[in-house]
Structures are given as C-alpha cells and as structure tokens.
Structure 1
C-alpha cells in the first residue's frame, strides 16, 4: 500500500475544500460525482498505481517540465471524466497527487503546458 499525499498548495487546498463541503452536505451535483470518482481513484492508486481501471501512463512532456516522472491516471469516462497527475514520493511508499484536470485534454500541440502542477509537500 502507498500513502497518498496531496501536492501543495493547490491540490491540498482543493481536496480539503471538497472534503469540507462534503461533510457539510454542500456539494453540487458535479462535485458529488467528482468526489466519488476522485475517492475511488485514490483507493486504487494506494493499492496499486498500475490498477487497470486507472489506465496509468507517463506523460513525458510533464516529466521534462517537473523534473521527475509524472504519471497520468483517468477518473471515469465521458462528459465528466478527469485526469489525475501524480508522482512517486517524496518518500518511499508515498505518492503525491500534483494535478487534476477535466478530460479530454485539448488535442493541440502543447496541451500539457497549461496544466498547473502542485509541489511535493515538505515532510
């Protein structure tokens, strides 16, 4: 099992806010769907980063930009699909989610340039 961390500051703030709104029963319909998909993806990622349902693969453009291997995994399909970006670390048996974007991405060249990636947390 891997410990799943959220990148700072963006992913941590996003996930903490989503969890807080869920606890207060204040999620919109789309947010409820995202919470469900994201939570399921986190469970799969913790158990097996190569889980078949995640369709994980490296994104070389982001690897070059970030300075370490960046992987993309899918959250659902169709209209409300997302893609999650993550890296191994900062420590052994840890994975840090550094980005989350709606899918499908723009097919144009340089589509990954616009993706905002969070930093690894300082532990």
Structure 2
C-alpha cells in the first residue's frame, strides 16, 4: 500500500485547487470528470503501482532528464490525447509522488521534450 502525494509546487497547487472547486460545488463538468478519473487512478496506484489497467511503465527519456526513474500510468485510454499521470517513488519508501499530468504525447521522436514535471517533497525525516 502506498501513500499518494503531490509534487511541488505545480501538482500540489493543481490538486488543491481542483479539490476546493469540487468541495464548493463550482467545478466545471470537465473538472468533475477529471477529478473522478484522478481519484480512481490514485486508488489503484495506492493499492498496486503496477495495477494492470494503469499500464504503468517507465519513461526513459524523462528518467534521464530528471535523474530519477519516472513512471507513467494511464488515466484513460483509447481517446485522442488520453491523460497520463507521471510519478516517482518517494520521498519515503511507502510514498508515490504525482509529478505530472499531461495528455498522451504523440509518438514522435521528441514527444516528451515539452513535458515539465513537479518536484517531489523533501523526505519528511529531513524536513524542519
């Protein structure tokens, strides 16, 4: 079982804003649908990072760029620009940190060049 955390600052700000809109009942229909997909994805990731329907796999080009193994899981499939969640293990052994949310990149050679990811929070043991 994993704890799901949000990368900083982008993913944490995005998630906090989306949760606030949902809670206050002011989210658009698109935001409500996205929220439901994210919650479903996060539940599956928390149970099993290799949950079959997530089709999780590492993204070598992003792993090289960021110096840590970056994983991609499906938020949805069989749709144009289907959503993908990018994540890393850590900062603690039982954590998965969500560091990006993007439409699926096209299959061109430099498909992942435009993707910018959040940072993972510092290890709680080392934070003040």
TM-score by length of 1: 0.94
Distance verdict in 2 for CA 1:22–1:80, change over 3 Å: farther
User: What is the match of residue 68 of structure 2?
Assistant: 68
In 2, Cα distance between equivalents of 1:84 and 1:52: 15
Deviation per CA, 1:8-35: give whole Å up to 9, x if none: 0000000000000000111111111110
In 1, Cα distance between equivalents of 2:26 and 2:81: 19
| Cα root mean square deviation, aligned | 1.1
Structure 2 residue runs without a partner (length 5+)? none
**Worse-superposed segment, 73-82 or 30-39:** 73-82
Q: For 1:1-123, list aligned pairs within 5 A.
A: 1-77=1-77, 78-79=79-80, 81-103=82-104, 105-122=105-122, 123=124
Structure 1 residue runs without a partner (length 5+)? none
Q: Which has the higher helix share?
A: 1
TM-superposed CA distance for 1:107, in Å, is 2.2
SS in 2 for 1:112: coil
Deviation per CA, 1:26-63: give whole Å up to 9, x if none: 11111111100001000000010000011000000000
In 2, Cα distance between equivalents of 1:31 and 1:49: 24
Runs (4+) of structure 1 moved beyond 4 Å?
Answer: none
- How many residue pairs get aligned? The number is 122
